[in-house]
Chains A and B, each alone.
Chain A
Amino acid sequence: MSAPDWQTVKRLLADALERPAEERARFLDEACGADIELRREVASLLPDADSRFLEEPATALLDVPALAAGVTIGRYTLGPMLGEGGMGRVYEATQEQPRRSVALKVLRPGFLAAGAERRFAWEAEALARLDHPAIAKVYEAGTLEVGGLALPWFALEKIDGRPLLEAADALGLGRRARLELFLRIADGIDHAHRRGVIHRDLKPDNVLVDADGAPHVLDFGIARATDPLASVVTTAGEVLGTLAYMAPEQIAGGDVDVRVDVFALGGMLYRLLTGKAPHALDGLSLPEVAVHLASTDAVPAGRVDSTLVGDLETILATALEREPARRYGSVERLAGDVRRFLADELITARPPTALYQLTKFTRRHRGLVGGLVLSLGLLVAGVIGTSVGLVRSERSLARAELERDRARETNRLLQSVFASADPAEHGSDVRVVDLLDAAGRELAANDVIAPGVRATLHLTLGRTYERLGRFEQGEEHLLLAIALFEATEERPSESAIDARAVLADLLFSRGEWKRAEQLADEVRAAADAFVDPPPWIVARPLELELARHDVHGDSEAYLEAATRLHEHWRAAGAEHADAYETATNNLGVALLDRGELARAERLLREAVDSRATRLGGDHPNVLTSRANLATCLTDLGRAGAALSILDEVAPKLRAAFGATHPTTLRAFGNRATALGALGEVEAAQSIYRELLAATEARFGVDHAETWIVRNNLGVGAAQLERFEEAEQYFRDLLASFERADDGVDPIFRTRAELNLVSALDGQDRRAEAEPLSRRGLSALEEALGEAAMPTVIARNNHALLLAELGRTDEALEHARRNLESATAKYPEHPMLVFPIESNLARCERAAGDEAGCVARLTRIEAVLEAAGREADLARVRELLGR
């Protein structure tokens, strides 16, 4: 007889079970009739009357009650329970030998997964070997059998302290102290990593800070020692809190290594510095959280707190990279960058975008010669300073007396002007310009003042207007000063030379180059006519050369003049400290333009420090040098540091000079450049758009200051891959060059043309671009030399262009030559390896030399890896197909 049919059994059984227990036998008798097999089968399935089998859901079966105080586990006697989490419970416990209080953590049953016992033993030993002040010690580990279930336990160092974030706030830690606290934590993690132990569950709540301010990382390796499952099961309700610090590969359940701790540390540092977790997860459901974390970058720290923009933001973003390969490869590297940041050194992480394709023009500020007149106090000081300077430079006592008279008259005039400044009329914030206008009116109306004194007053007013960017009024006063000096003084008149030099400078600034150069020649001729000239007379022609080269963008000639000036003022002695500082600043700028960044940085820092010591931190000369230093940092790849300087300096310059002063405009332009270097191109573009309107209004469309802004707008558009828009900017620019009265510097034009090449290249119009690129390259090579940075960039781009056009032999030749000349000129430059050499590899690949390409890329990979340049490394690995 075959086994009874299941459907029949099932139906009868179900029917029977719906009846009271006492009726079931009779029911089966009737239903089964003669089928004995069927009846036996169904009857064997009828449960005992009181069976509660499976009635209680499995979810209710997973808990073990808390252990009572007084229970002993190994050498430990349990005290009260200190806390309870998803992973288990923590009890206070005492140990007899040695007598001490410990924290005893008993995990929930089930957290020792299949095959885990050996690993648990091994890990427990590894944990016990960890010995670092920042890691809560694991004394002992074991398992406990309760009713046949295995409960792993750990005896841990008991830390009296507060959770990290609470402690940092309570101790009132500032940014530096937080970074230093973080480094102590990171050092502990690094110690463990070197011994093969990964934490896997780092979060602020797992770090306690004791009364001495020392951090202690808890639960080190416990997650790993027990079961990966346990690593995410936390105190009820804290699942999201844990996930916020978990690396995507860990959430996805993939292979994990030390980089999950790097990621978690990044999140922790982010929280420490911004007060917020790196991801906004509020209101998201769990699966949304998982997907969000796997697909979205952390909110850039600089958006939460703008003072973090720059290096710290870059460090955080690199630690929080979703792709492990782009993340810091070790905690040591992360900590290293934080240390470098604290020491104000170059960090190894690179901002996400590093563009070498396009030339952005940056204008640096020539140092301002002489004292700068700004506030009322400074205005007086400036006038007196000028006068005393003149006195010192005069040789005859009679002249000295005359100068003293002039100084006295000048100050008397200004005092009367200040006294007449009516707060009711001007408000409490009297503008310097208003006072200068009042002084001018006073001077015009006063016919008692001697012509010599009057000339000095006009010079003072003219110089001040020039500094303030009020060129029209400045020119008016300077012309009057020149005429008066020449009428009243013997020739060559020192004062007339001075006034001419100021006027020439003014005209250079205004873009009237031809008139300016004519005046500059006159100044040189007059200075040359001096027998035994005073130092400032010697300096004036050189200073005007700087102005001229600045306008023409001839960086080599600029450097030569700046070097001579620097040497001149150094030899002139300590009494000319102000002029020496200016010369130092200018030499720094010159080196910056030539790409000699290390020396440039040193000189600019020297200028900043010296000026700040002598003049106070907010003096415009200090601000100017700082703005230049920031530009240098941008070029050094430290745009973050640059930006934080410019964020402070640019508004101060605006307050000092006014919104449309060239110095202000340049400072904001440099700020936009730094933003662009950080990849914040949209933000940079909106600054440039404002600047374009401002420069067009101030200088006109066909003026160098406007050209620079228009060019940079084109560069930004190209960076955003809006190549047609970029092309338009560059074509407008080239058209504007044609309209300019004085023409345009050839280098300037060439660089704009090369930018047009990039815009065309972006639209795949390479055949159209190639002749322009070739011509631009040879123009740069001729003008600046083969190894000048602009030439190197142009050749790099030209090689790639040729490779794309299939002219691989030419491409290879250019790429090789480029690497050679750049290596000779900039042996230490980070660009050498990437992208210059990596582009040579690309050309080799295009030429069919795959083996050579791969070998080269492999070498580059090793160098980048050693340098910890994760972003560049990732790109090279892409080229390697990894």
Chain B
Amino acid sequence: MSAERPDLTQLLARASADRAAGEALLPLVYDELRRVARAQLGGQRADTLQPTALVHEAWMRLVGPEGEAVGWDGRAHFFSAAAQAMRHFLVDRARSSARLKRGGHLVRQPLDAVDAPVDPDEIDFEALDAALTRFAERDERAAKIVELRFFAGLSVEDTASALGVSERTVAREWNVARAWLARELERS
């Protein structure tokens, strides 16, 4: 990134390292990513997402029209940081919801009338986080690919550009990582 422009990547990097410092900034990224994702999905939870478009739109929204001039190098940093931010966010959310189940002083109203709209068993973010951390010790690049693909929602193509590897490598390692993580989560 050029020296003159404000560096969101650095802010994000700091944010993912230091939660207190990042409290204000993280959700902005989160909100943009979520919003773009929602727009892409048209409100449906379906597999028609077009990740490349999502990446570009989020990038444009966050970094502005000048983002085009920044090049992929900058975007790679950006999405890496964004993915980590997202990861922390989801894990924290999972932790707090786990804690809430233990009760407290709150008025709690179990809701029978509403079908569970999300299946929390589908992904245990805490476990996923731990598994991904272990996996990174074994294969850092593949773990990175998981972050970019899953947490930041990047396409294979964009992930390849971001990491400077071939699309085939991304596709292969993505498959491997998913298989490894799935087994870890099943075992836990």
Measuring CB to CB, which residues of chain A are less than 8 angstroms from any residue of chain B?
Answer: 6, 10, 13-14, 17-18, 44-47, 51-65, 67-68, 70-74, 86, 109-110, 112-118, 120-121, 124, 140-150, 228-234, 236-237, 239, 246, 250-254, 283-288, 290-292
**Can you report 7 A-B residue pairs in the complex whose CB atoms are below 8 A from each other?**
A47-B178, A47-B179, A53-B182, A63-B34, A233-B30, A253-B22, A288-B6
Contact flag A239-B109 (CB < 8 Å), given A58-B150, A285-B67: no
Q: Does residue B26 face the partner (Cβ distance < 8 Å to A)?
A: yes
Residues of B within 8 A of A231 (CB): 24
Within 8 A of A (CB), among B102-142: 104-111, 113-120, 123, 138-139, 142
Contact of B120 among A47, A71, A149, A290 (CB under 8 A): A149
Distance in Å from the Cβ of A325 to the closest Cβ of chain B?
A: 20
A228 to B33, CA, bound (A): 19
Annotate B138-156 by CB proximity to A: 1 below 8 A, 0 otherwise.
1100100010011111000
Report yes or no: A56 in contact with B49, Cβ–Cβ below 8 A. yes
A54-B146, A290-B11 known; A146-B182 Cβ under 8 A = no
Query: Which chain B residue has the least Cβ–Cβ distance from A291?
Result: B6
Inside 8 A of B11's CB, which chain A residues have their CB?
A: 287, 290
* Listed residue (A45, A51, A230, A250) with the most chain B CB atoms within 10 angstroms of its CB: A45
Contact A114 B179 (CB under 8 A): no
Q: Is the CB of A121 within 8 A of B104?
A: yes
Is A117's CB under 8 angstroms from B49's CB? no
Q: Which residues of B contact A112 (CB under 8 A)?
A: 96-97, 100
B182 / chain A contacts, CB cutoff of 8 Å: 47, 51, 53-54
Q: How large is the interface on B (under 10, 10 to 19, 20 to 34, 35 or more residues)?
A: 35 or more
- One digit per residue, 1 when the CB lies within 8 angstroms of any chain A CB and 0 when it does not, for chain B 78-93 equals 0000000011011011
- Let me know if B62 is at the binding interface, CB within 8 A: yes
B17 at the interface (CB under 8 A from A): no
Closest residue of chain B to A48 (Cβ to Cβ) is B182
Q: CA A124 – CA B104 in complex, angstroms? A: 13
Roughly how many angstroms separate A690 CA and B170 CA in the complex, as a whole number? 71
- Across the interface, which residues of A come within 8 angstroms of B117, CB to CB? 64-65, 146-147
Which residue in chain B gives the minimum CB-CB distance to A60? Answer: B37
Take A47-B179, A58-B151, A287-B6 as given contacts and tell me if A14 and B64 are in contact as well, using a CB distance cutoff of 8 Å.
Answer: no
By the criterion CB–CB under 8 Å, are B151 and A57 in contact? Answer: yes
B167 at the A interface (CB under 8 A): no
Report if A6-B123 is in contact (Cβ < 8 Å); known contacts: A14-B173, A47-B182, A59-B34. Answer: no
Q: Which residue of A lies closest to B7 (CB)?
A: A287
Question: Which A residues are in CB contact (< 8 Å) with B153?
Answer: 57-60
Add 10 more A-B contacts to A17-B172, A71-B111, A110-B93 (CB < 8 A). A14-B176, A17-B175, A53-B182, A59-B33, A142-B107, A148-B101, A150-B100, A150-B101, A285-B64, A290-B25
Inter-chain contact B172/A14, CB cutoff 8 Å: yes
Closest CB of chain A to B115's CB: distance in Å? 8
Whether B3 sits at the interface, judged by CB under 8 Å, is: no
Q: Is B8 an interface residue (CB 8 A)?
A: yes
- Contact (A46, B179) CB under 8 Å given A118-B105, A148-B101: yes
B73 at the interface (CB under 8 A from A): no
Query: With A and B bound together, what is the CA distance between A231 and B150 in angstroms?
Result: 26
A251 contacts B93, C-beta separation under 8 Å: no
CB proximity of A591 to chain B, nearest CB, Å: 53
| Min CB gap A772→B, angstroms | 47
The answer on a CB contact under 8 Å between B106 and A117 is: yes
Expressed in whole angstroms, the Cα–Cα distance for A64 and B115 within the complex equals 11
A118 CB contacts on chain B under 8 angstroms: 104-105
Q: Does B63 contact A (CB under 8 A)?
A: yes
Bound-state Cα–Cα, A237 to B96, Å: 27
Tell me the complex Cα distance, A65–B21, Å: 31
B183 and A44 within 8 A (CB)? yes
Of the candidates B23, B37, B96, which one forms a contact with A150 in the assembled complex, judged by CB atoms under 8 Å apart? B96
Which B residue's beta carbon lies closest to that of A254? B21
The distance in angstroms between the C-alpha atoms of A236 and B61, with both chains bound, is 12
Q: Which 6 A-B pairs have the closest CB atoms?
A: A147-B116, A285-B64, A142-B107, A57-B153, A110-B93, A287-B8
Contacts of A54 in B (CB 8 A): 123, 146, 149-150, 178, 181-182
Q: Looking across the interface, which residue of chain B has its beta carbon closest to that of A144?
A: B109
Tell me if A286 and B109 are in contact (CB < 8 A). no
Known contacts: A47-B182, A144-B109. The answer to whether A285 contacts B116 by CB under 8 A is no
